[in-house]
Structure 1
Amino acid sequence: MRSLLRRVLAQFAVDRRVLALAFARMADGIGNSFLIIVIPLYVASATVDGRTFGLEEAMIIGIILSLFGFLNSSFQPFTGRLSDRVGKRKPFILIGLGGLAMTNVAYIFAETYLSLVVIRGLQGVSVAFIIPASIALVNELATAQDRGGNMGVYNTFRLVGFGAGPIVAGAVVNLGPYTLPAGPTISGFDAAFSIAAITAVASYLLVTVLISDPDATRANASADLSISIRDQSGSHLLDPIFTLGIASLFMATSIALFATIQPQVNARLDQGSTWFGLQFAAFILAQVLLQTPIGRACDRYGRRPFIVGGMLLLLPTTLVQGFVTTSELMFVARLLQGIAGAMVFAPGLALAGDLAGEGESGSKLAVLTMAFGFGIAIGPLSSGALVGYGFAMPFVFGTALAAIGTLLVYTQIEETLETTQPLPVLSND
């Protein structure tokens, strides 16, 4: 038992700054994912009114939620490039977390649809400061021998936070109002927004106290931060990081198709919202369980086999979701799709980190995070538009995109690890 515990703990044996950053992202992930559940409920409540500009309530909710993703993804190349130019990561992370904390508090005072749109948009910009700088910092604290493991640990904790938030968000709203020890009463919505703000502040404090930029980051601040589309070496048509970005876009789009067609899924499978929640969570569960071990494994066996294998697995696991007829099979399909995503994400970031030159981590890795964010935003819009042509159509579309991504990865990306690395041997003491 003791030996097993040591092996589990060894999975998270990374630079303490990476672990601190992972915990910080877990905390802000809880607060941010809270809002995915709370904002639609808040918009539908009697608390919010004002001009709707002729839009239906459902469309307003969609705009508010999608705006975050589009602004977040759009600004990431700029913030990543700027952090490379100044040679610092920590200030960018703190700016983003500070923005998140203030905007979460602002929700308490927002009473119009337009104010919610503005606040959520500002949150998208705030997170655009956090993501490229965080990924770049993890990359710079790692080496070629442990980069996959570091990326896996970071993503594991981030996803734990993102997955935990929605589980409790609805309960916090429904159990309100709350009477505080000092006497005042706050609504369930205000309590949820306050929790989101507190998690952002907690992340801010963790980063402030426990994280510092490596000395080499400022020394290697880069002036040439262009993103290549064509492969400069001439051995392939496309630049490998650009290729990974396209693959990430297509993968994320395929993954996110499921999110917005809950009524159609439940009607087809004759199931309730509980089953849908389990199926939605199955993908995140697989990610949480496998990101770190797959990241460690790609440090030993190479990045490319996992990326190619994950993209291949994405094909059947996406397509089958359009044709299954039972809740249990849909759960299995989503779980396997999560395994496919885990095989691509950490190894993909590690491979891009291997290719990024000194002082380029922010701008280069932002290509992948930006593409993934756009895919998460495009997927729900695509499924909403295509499901009217038949339940299977969104998943056929996602499979076609995944097939293109698989072909690109297989033909345009080479292995970056020259030798395989032995896994650490733990004593039984």
Structure 2
Amino acid sequence: MADALGNSFLIIVLPLYVASESVSGGALGLPSSVISGVVLALFGIVSSLTQPLAGHFSDRLGRRRAFVLIGLGIFCVANFSFSLVSSYPMLFLIRAVQGFAAAFTITASVALVSELSVGGGRGQNMGIYNSFRLVGFGGGPLLAGVVLEHGPYTLPGGIALDGFTACFYIAAGAALVSTLMVVAMVDDPETTKPTNRSFAIPVRGHEQALDPVFSLGLATFMMTSCIALMSSIEPEVNTRLDQGPVLFAIQFATFIGALAVVQPLVGRASDTYGRRTFILIGLAALAPTTLAQGLVTTPAQMIGARLLQGISGALIFAPALALAGDLANEGEAASTLSVLTVAFGLGISFGQITAGILVQYGFVMPFAVGALLALMGVVLVYTQVHDPASTADVVPHAP
């Protein structure tokens, strides 16, 4: 939660920072919406490319905590570094470094949750873990909007601090706090042992055309593409709805809040009733709730659409992670779950870049494409994914 709060500051801050006069150089004549999309998307692209390797080496070494700490330490330095640069190339570089750091923290932390759930309740535990991250992820933009709107600030000693720099400092401080918390409170499970497997994701049968974990990854990609459409077109959203950054932050946080509240309940229910049904219902509901965001004309309507989209997303992600954990071979949790975490990051990046490009052809266009992706996800999961014979509290099997 502490880590996500600091990092999510940048979702609100960076598009406005790019659009301000604080950044210069190397824009190549592109609209600020496209530049914002690229800056935000670099995080997911780099993270997604490096997560399989991070997961592989975490499995090979049998170490989770060390990978989390390395990633958080890099995050702390990178978040602070934003306050020192004012050019597009440096923004791109720092954002890429953040993506590299995320590869370490994401794969190792999700594997920890899965391995600590071998005795039961994997769906509920995944839901709780995601909810805490989402509380930070939703609270960060809301706090960032307030910090930006009330800046600049005067510190003791007469030191002037603009709103952007204040946000970067807070993001770095949150990463530092989360690092100290992991040092004090987290240990690797005794059951986690090094593995000697090669760098590959095992295929789990050929009953369907696609591997089920890969299919869950594609469904996750489609989901996160939908939820990320709004983030890189903040100026266009604010203009259409005649609002400021605080209302935009509230709308962004509404989705996260709904996701955080509903996920543990859905995860627990999926432990009893199976995962696949919840995923299918969530993807089906994601289509209209995404399209609605391109049709709204008032801030209140956007809040309502984001609330419903958050509930839809909660039905998908915790059960999908739990199902992938059910299917993971012993000692391969990080590598297997990295398929979904990679898809999550790629989906965020795809949604951000797509929105930045398509919004120039009409405000509704990005959201219409997102709705179509959600419907494609329904077909994919219905035809390629099935629950194991016993979903509840499945113990990972030997390779």
Q: Distance in 1 between matches of 2:361 and 2:13?
A: 31
Partner of 1:11: none
Q: Distance in 2 between matches of 1:53 and 1:347?
A: 41
Q: Structure 2 counterpart of 1:168, which letter?
A: L
Q: Is the 8 A contact 2:40 2:352 kept in 1?
A: no
Q: Structure 2 counterpart of 1:375, which letter?
A: G
Partner of 2:270: 298
Partner of 1:286: 258
Q: Is the 8 A contact 2:326 2:391 kept in 1?
A: no
Choose from 354, 361, 371 the match for 1:382: 354
Partner of 2:385: 413
Partner of 1:176: 152
Q: Structure 2 counterpart of 1:134, which letter?
A: S
In structure 2, the CA distance between the partners of 1:320 and 1:41, relative to structure 1 (3 Å rule), is closer
Q: Is the 8 A contact 1:69 1:373 kept in 2?
A: yes
In structure 2, the CA distance between the partners of 1:259 and 1:106, relative to structure 1 (3 Å rule), is closer
Partner of 2:334: 362
Tell me the C-alpha RMSD between the 2 structures.
Answer: 2.5
Partner of 1:344: 316
Q: Cα deviations across residues 291-311 of structure 1 (Å, max 9, x unaligned)?
A: 111111111221112112111
Partner of 1:198: 173
Choose from 44, 56, 74 the match for 1:81: 56
Report the CA distance between 1:321 and its aligned residue: 3.6
Partner of 1:93: 68
In structure 2, the CA distance between the partners of 1:164 and 1:304, relative to structure 1 (3 Å rule), is same
SS at the partner of 2:207?
coil
In structure 2, the CA distance between the partners of 1:264 and 1:120, relative to structure 1 (3 Å rule), is closer
SS at the partner of 1:215?
coil
Report the CA distance between 1:80 and its aligned residue: 1.1
Partner of 1:65: 40
Q: Structure 2 counterpart of 1:167, which letter?
A: L
Q: Structure 2 counterpart of 1:33, which letter?
A: S
Report the CA distance between 1:42 and its aligned residue: 4.1
Q: Distance in 1 between matches of 2:219 and 2:119?
A: 22
Q: Is the 8 A contact 1:303 1:416 kept in 2?
A: no
Q: Is the 8 A contact 2:211 2:384 kept in 1?
A: yes
In structure 2, the CA distance between the partners of 1:259 and 1:64, relative to structure 1 (3 Å rule), is closer
Q: Is the 8 A contact 1:315 1:403 kept in 2?
A: yes
Choose from 88, 97, 101 the match for 1:126: 101
Partner of 1:187: 161
Indicate yes or no: 2:272 matched with 1:272.
no
Partner of 2:397: none
Q: Cα deviations across residues 240-270 of structure 1 (Å, max 9, x unaligned)?
A: 10000011111111222233445655666x5
Q: Cα deviations across residues 70-129 of structure 1 (Å, max 9, x unaligned)?
A: 112221111111111111111111110010111223233324332222222111111111
Q: TM-score, normalised by structure 2?
A: 0.89
Q: Is the 8 A contact 2:40 2:232 kept in 1?
A: no
Report the CA distance between 1:373 and its aligned residue: 1.0
Report the CA distance between 1:141 and its aligned residue: 0.7
Q: Cα deviations across residues 385-416 of structure 1 (Å, max 9, x unaligned)?
A: 33444444333322221122111111111113
Which ranges of structure 2 fall in alignment gaps of 5 or more residues? 394-399
Partner of 2:281: 309
Q: Distance in 2 between matches of 1:264 and 1:48?
A: 19
Q: Cα deviations across residues 176-235 of structure 1 (Å, max 9, x unaligned)?
A: 33323xx3614134332222221111111111111111122125x24144125xx64222
More deviation, 125-134/408-417: 408-417
Q: Cα deviations across residues 2-25 of structure 1 (Å, max 9, x unaligned)?
A: xxxxxxxxxxxxxxxxxxxxxxxx
SS at the partner of 1:218?
coil
In structure 2, the CA distance between the partners of 1:364 and 1:344, relative to structure 1 (3 Å rule), is same
Q: Is the 8 A contact 1:250 1:402 kept in 2?
A: yes
Partner of 1:28: 3
SS at the partner of 2:63?
coil
Q: Is the 8 A contact 1:222 1:359 kept in 2?
A: no
Aligned residues: 389
Q: Distance in 2 between matches of 1:392 and 1:190?
A: 33
Q: Structure 1 counterpart of 2:257, which letter?
A: L
More deviation, 302-311/336-345: 302-311
Partner of 2:396: none
Q: Distance in 1 between matches of 2:357 and 2:275?
A: 35
Report the CA distance between 1:278 and its aligned residue: 3.8
Identity of aligned residues (%): 49
Q: Is the 8 A contact 1:310 1:340 kept in 2?
A: yes
